[in-house]
Amino acid sequence: MNILFVHQNMPGQYRELVQWLAAQETHKIYFLTQRKNAPKLSGVETIIYKPHRTPTQESYGLSRVWEEATGAGFGAAMAAKQVEKQTGFKPDIIIGHVGWGELTFFKQIWPDVPIIGFFEFYYNMMGGTVGFDPAEPVSEHAPFLMQARNAIPLANIETVDQGHCPTMWQRDRFPTSFHDRMYVCHDGIRTDKLLPNPKVKLGLGRVGRDLTRDDEIITYVARNLEKTRGFHTLMRALPQISPTYAARIFCLARGGDWQAAALTLLAEVLGGGQTSVLNRALQFDQPANALVFSPALLGHSLPAADTARRRDLERTADEKLQALRRVGGVTGQVIEQLHAGLGERPLTVHLVADRLQMTARTLQRRLHHEGAQFARLRDQVRMEYACRRLRRGDCDMPELARRLGFSDIANFYHAFRRWTGCAPGAYRKNQVRRR
């Protein structure tokens, strides 16, 4: 069977499936992706495509997602058509993620080829990513922005022959009219390999205490430590969790001369009766959770000090301090989003505004009130990242330019010279020479 996988960030959700199919050695498998450094999978031909178009900064906010999706979809379709022309490969089935529009136009190439599309999320005003945190009020424009994002699944439900959802909850986020074309195949644990074991133990290094099935454990698991994945909710809950549950607290630290004088805890009890960690007494019912060190240690040299690394860290710290001076309000949120969005797509005011659930005009107005400008903040984030990478001495210039959102390396060179007064290559040589 000829199988075509499509996912801009190969392998995405398909690693296990692709590897299992390839191991059978009876299929010809192509994987279409935007990822230039995609992992090499045995028995899989990787094809890298470029979006035919990306939205400009002036693009209308409510149509930007659709414009980006059609650019990716057309680019993927043209790449697939070129593969067929050059190699004769025509898929018997297409499997891919619909979220970025990559599958939108494949029926125009191969009307008779069935498509299974991965439907990950449908944006709703209730019960999802909007309004779940009482501390963050919802923008009055949020309903329109959410529905604008749904243009992609609304178009692609007619493109695919079968929709795939990873959970029942995600399926139920979509309109009921979608459900007769969807099935649920759960993401989860390989129960054929991970089986119950009554004697299981988890070692915790020098702590000297293994976890077993008898231990009560509160676990938080997420791909990224971000608000949408509940990380801030967990951190808010810890002060309530600690006193409520009998907890065993483990501390892993470097040995040698750098020993803590004490470990203070907010909680009044410590499960299991443990009274010391790293040979230091535990102090309960304290104002804060803290490691306390002797002031005399401040004058000691680190046993494994790296002077070159220290200079590098000091320069990075100086750059960060410049940014941290303005982390409050909307300015700080914009800086955070710009750092998080590097390498994903063009860093435009519309993209950041969408992520902050407001219009671009509202975002620019709020930045103006705080004495900030989006273009300058973007240049600041870009410059910090570029300088940090160039100081390493081994970065790839074209890749760096692409990650920063420049259309070509010449534009990056021009911008870097404007930021620093010198060319990227000269800056890198100067930094390497100083080490």
Residue 304 pLDDT class (50, 70, 90 cuts): low
Q: Do 275 and 360 belong to one domain?
A: no
Closest CA to 349 of 108, 57, 9, 3: 57
Helix, strand, or coil (residue 28): strand
Q: Do 265 and 314 belong to one domain?
A: no
The span from the CA of 222 to the CA of 142, in Å, is: 25
Residue 73 pLDDT > 60: yes
> What pLDDT sits at residue 90?
96
User: Could you tell me the residue range of the domain that residue 396 belongs to?
Assistant: 307-434
Closest CA to 7 of 117, 140, 167, 154: 117
Mean pLDDT, range 211-237, rounded to an integer: 76
Average pLDDT score over the chain: 80
Q: Do 364 and 383 belong to one domain?
A: yes
> What pLDDT sits at residue 148?
92
**Order of strands, sheet of 93-97, starting from the edge strand that comes earlier in the sequence:** 44-48, 28-33, 2-6, 93-97, 115-118, 162-165, 182-184
Residue 89 pLDDT class (50, 70, 90 cuts): very high
Does any domain span residue 194?
no
Number of domains in the chain: 3
Q: What is the pLDDT of residues 125-180, one digit of tens each?
A: 887 778 777 777 788 888 898 899 999 999 999 999 999 999 999 999 999 999 99
State the CATH number of the domain containing residue 97. 3.40.50.2000
**Residue where one domain finishes, among candidates 149, 184, 219:** 184
Q: Do 288 and 317 belong to one domain?
A: no
Q: Do 155 and 235 belong to one domain?
A: no
257-266, long-range: CB within 8 Å, 24+ apart, which pairs?
A: 257/297, 257/300, 257/303, 258/293, 258/297, 258/300, 260/291, 260/292, 260/293, 261/292, 261/293, 261/294, 262/291, 262/292, 263/290, 263/291, 263/292, 264/288, 264/289, 264/290, 264/292, 265/289, 266/239, 266/242
Does any domain span residue 88?
yes
Does any domain span residue 292?
yes
Residue 274 pLDDT class (50, 70, 90 cuts): very low
Does any domain span residue 62?
yes
Contact 353, 144 (CB under 8 A): no
Residue 313 pLDDT class (50, 70, 90 cuts): confident
**Residue where one domain finishes, among candidates 237, 271, 299:** 299
Closest CA to 379 of 346, 324, 416, 407: 416
Q: Do 124 and 238 belong to one domain?
A: no
Q: Do 269 and 392 belong to one domain?
A: no
Task: Give the residue, 349 or 222, on which the prediction is more confident.
Answer: 349
Strand partners, 292: 262
Strand partners, 263: 282, 291
Q: Do 131 and 64 belong to one domain?
A: yes
**Residue where one domain finishes, among candidates 153, 184, 215:** 184
Q: Do 27 and 174 belong to one domain?
A: yes
> What pLDDT sits at residue 275?
46
Q: Do 294 and 311 belong to one domain?
A: no
Does any domain span residue 80?
yes
Alpha helices in 88-210 (DSSP H): 142-149, 151-156, 168-173
Cα three-residue angle 302-307-311, rounded to 5 degrees: 120
Q: Choose from 145-159, 243-257, 272-286, 304-318 the range with maximum mean pLDDT.
A: 145-159
**pTM, 2 dp:** 0.55
> What pLDDT sits at residue 29?
96
